Structure 1
Amino acid sequence: MLQSVSMLGAFWLSYEVIPLPKRNRVPTYDIIAELQAKGAKEIVVPREKKRALLDIGFSALFIGIAIPYFWIGSPSPVVELFLLYGFLSMAAGLFKRMALFRSLHLFYDQNDHALYLISSVEAKRYPLDQCVDIQVHTAPDILQLFHLFHLFSPHADYTVNMGKTWKLSFDGERVYLNPGSLASMNILPKPLSSQREIHIQPFYHPSNWKRLLGKAYFSAAVKGVGAYAALLALLAYWKIDSITMIAAILFFWTINLFISDRVLKIALDMKPVTNPPIQHIIRTICARAGLPHLAVYTTESSDYNGFAAGPYIGRSLIALTSETLKLPHDALAGVIAHEAVHVKKRDVLTAQLLQFAFIMVISSIIAGVYEAAAHWLETHRAATFLIGWTLIVLLYPAFRSWLVQWMEVRADHLGATLLDGGNDQMANALAILSKNQDQAIEQAHSYHIDAKEKDDEEEDAFAEDGSFTFEREDWFSRFSKFQLSPHPPMYWRIHSLRTTETGWSTQKLRLWWRDCWRESLPDFVKEWLHI
């Protein structure tokens, strides 16, 4: 009984963490009836089973490569838990796609010049006067739309057939849909609706083989653990001893790290930054960092984000989202400087090595405990499960947070030394980046018909004069971000930059470590302890 309760508790936590699709707060038929009463025109959206089968097929592929582990591999509760978590996540994405495929309705309301996309899982309204860009593709690009082929927020995929596809770009969201007749394109702004069609090859076309392999490898080995599970199953089938098995996993992990830059470039459809003013910023920052040959790429996303990748300096790169490139140049320079420090200090490699070492140590401890107390653990499976789940859900994220956060703080302060404006420019860059990301998230949320209005005073991160007013967050938010997130809270990062001199020192590291714990305590506890 206790084991059943433990399993239910674990999967309840998974339910809370994984974005499972939920039904509309307002019934679909009520929304459709209201639109019809307003005189909105329904645009026919023909469905093709082939489009749904492609999503089912790709999902089955990435689930299927891990399934052999369950009947061939040596059962490990930790690996099984990771796999089941991944299966649940993939099933949630597939369920949403199938529900949308079956129930999607597309309306155009001439009175407010807006598109309405209504389905059983969500209902959205897109004002066409807020559309900033429109493209027409000859077919949906499956390698761009499938939800496992993304690192950042996925695109809003409403494609239900293999015909011509609109790509509508709004602030905070990219929308893909394919109505049956493009005669309805006359509802779009005339200067934009005359765009030349972009030819999209099928995913199996020879010109897409490299993309297909790169994205498949990314989904199986980087974003998921299916490739590792398949390797474990294969080694178990060959009856390989434990030492050789660990060596094989380590070798496979090393290969993944060594080719990570190439895989990411293919998987995220990266392109070199070609804008001359931005190229000048890149050259200036990289020269100051001593990285004159560092490559900077862009990948399409509605997120404001960037990251460094690569096993070592000679094979490293910086990737910036397409929205990040739209930031003011002073703010963009701050983002590039931050990521350049990650490359200079080899943070990507260091973090990977330390995380791998941590996993190996924990695994060794678990194996030792199991060997010493195998009988007790077998007779108390519920307690064993809860302990293992705690290690996965809390201990590993906490270690990763402590490991990565000080690198982020160091990148903020050393990155400031590469900027003309020093700490102030870096602080302003973080403020602008965070403000734009929050506004993009809020804008994307506003497209939902059942979205509730939020208190402007709580949501607005900037004062009326445009000055930065990020406030210290509540206790639980501070605790979760300091102890479980890869980045310290934004209010603390900016405060740290604005209250210290430009540069990096061990004193700033000690300051982060002190505040990491002090800010994680409720205020009444700090008052009681006089700290």
Structure 2
Amino acid sequence: MNWFRTTLLMAALTALFMGIGAMIGGGAGALVALLVAAGMNMFAYWNSDKMLLRMHNAQPVDQRSAPELYEMVADLAHNAGIPMPKVYIVDEDQPNAFATGRDPQHGAVAVTTGLLRMLSHQELAGVVAHELAHIKNRDTLIMTITATVAGAISMLANFAFFFGGNRDNPMGIVGSIAMMILAPIAAMLVQMAISRTREYAADRAGAEICGRPMWLASALGKLEQGARRIDNPAAEQNPATAHMFIVNPLHGGRMDGLFTTHPRTENRIAALRQMADAGAGPWG
């Protein structure tokens, strides 16, 4: 169901992008918009991981420099059935983590120094397992593509607003203005809906990978409190990357509503607790 919903949302995002292109240049505009989207996605496919790691000044570590973390990632990657990803540490007080990479063969997991200080060994395993689930499910690629297309929709809408669109489009001038204003908002909502869907899926898969849903549930509670108290300057400067983190790194609204990139943490913990109570896995 999660994958079906994600596919529908991504189709809606692509249709919206083509609609903006059609508003600007008719049928030819829609085709150009589709080609531009394809080009942007290809660029994101090859370069998004490097860009994200650079934005947050993530430093690579190995078995010698961070043996406990490295060995934990290796063990959990084996449980997940994916290749060993690259491991990074971000010198950041806010406890948080993210994964990136275009496919499981090019995956990377990054954790902050604040996370390493705050969590127990078991809680850290829950977080790492969650990030490995993102890599296994190719969520990192999906979220990069949706962020790229959503950004392109905003760019096209701004272009149409300032330079005018196709005067012969069937929506008329009022409809065109409404489209220019509403399209970026709609794109943002779709992007956030996809992000929330993939977070719930990664929570469940991560619990299965580490074998203990409550390890991740306990970690999420601590991370939420830490993220509320401690700023993340790099994330604040690059808010488009917020959806890549395990908890929202930005200081803002916490409602599980339309304008959030992450599900409400209380809801995620409740789902994990229900999973543990069901005893439907090796933790039962």
Alignment partner, residue 324 of structure 1: 115
Pick from 145, 170, 192: which aligns with 1:373?
170
Alignment partner, residue 389 of structure 1: 181
C-alpha deviation, 1:413, in angstroms: 1.1
Alignment partner, residue 430 of structure 1: 220
In structure 2, relative to structure 1, the CA distance for the partners of 1:292 and 1:495 (3 Å cut) is: same
Determine the C-alpha separation between the residues in 1 that align with 2:216 and 2:184: 35
Alignment partner, residue 337 of structure 1: 129
Asked if 1 retains the 8 angstrom alpha-carbon contact of 2:99 and 2:134, the reply is yes
Alignment partner, residue 66 of structure 2: 275
Structure 2 portions without partners, runs of 5+: 1-19, 22-27, 232-252
For residues 400-439 of structure 1, the aligned pairs below 5 Å read 400-420=191-211, 422-439=212-229
Letter in 2 for 1:432: K
Q: Secondary structure at the match of 1:483?
A: coil
In structure 2, relative to structure 1, the CA distance for the partners of 1:368 and 1:358 (3 Å cut) is: farther
Number of equivalences: 222
Alignment partner, residue 311 of structure 1: 102
Letter in 2 for 1:405: R
Q: Give CA deviations for 1:153-210 in whole Å, capped at 9, x if unaligned.
A: xxxxxxxxxxxxxxxxxxxxxxxxxxxxxxxxxxxxxxxxxxxxxxxxxxxxxxxxxx
**Identity of counterpart residues, as a percentage?**
22
Pick from 230, 254, 258: which aligns with 2:42?
254
Compare relative contact order (CA 8 Å, sep 6+) and give the higher one, 1 or 2: 2
Asked if 2 retains the 8 angstrom alpha-carbon contact of 1:309 and 1:348, the reply is yes
TM-score (norm 2): 0.65
In structure 2, relative to structure 1, the CA distance for the partners of 1:267 and 1:425 (3 Å cut) is: closer
Pick from 321, 346, 352: which aligns with 2:138?
346
Determine the C-alpha separation between the residues in 2 that align with 1:359 and 1:486: 15
Determine the C-alpha separation between the residues in 2 that align with 1:340 and 1:499: 22
In structure 2, relative to structure 1, the CA distance for the partners of 1:266 and 1:404 (3 Å cut) is: closer
TM-score (norm 1): 0.37
Determine the C-alpha separation between the residues in 1 that align with 2:260 and 2:200: 13
Asked if 1 retains the 8 angstrom alpha-carbon contact of 2:83 and 2:105, the reply is no
Letter in 2 for 1:426: L
CA RMSD of aligned residues (A): 3.5
In structure 2, relative to structure 1, the CA distance for the partners of 1:295 and 1:392 (3 Å cut) is: same
Q: Give CA deviations for 1:331-359 in whole Å, capped at 9, x if unaligned.
A: 21111111100000101223344566788
Determine the C-alpha separation between the residues in 2 that align with 1:283 and 1:371: 58
Determine the C-alpha separation between the residues in 1 that align with 2:279 and 2:223: 20
Alignment partner, residue 495 of structure 1: 270
Asked if 2 retains the 8 angstrom alpha-carbon contact of 1:308 and 1:319, the reply is yes
For residues 52-67 of structure 1, the aligned pairs below 5 Å read none
Q: Secondary structure at the match of 1:259?
A: helix
Which has a greater percent of helix? 2
Asked if 1 retains the 8 angstrom alpha-carbon contact of 2:254 and 2:260, the reply is no
Pick from 258, 269, 273: which aligns with 1:483?
258
Asked if 1 retains the 8 angstrom alpha-carbon contact of 2:99 and 2:132, the reply is yes
**Bigger Rg, structure 1 or 2:** 1
Asked if 2 retains the 8 angstrom alpha-carbon contact of 1:303 and 1:323, the reply is yes
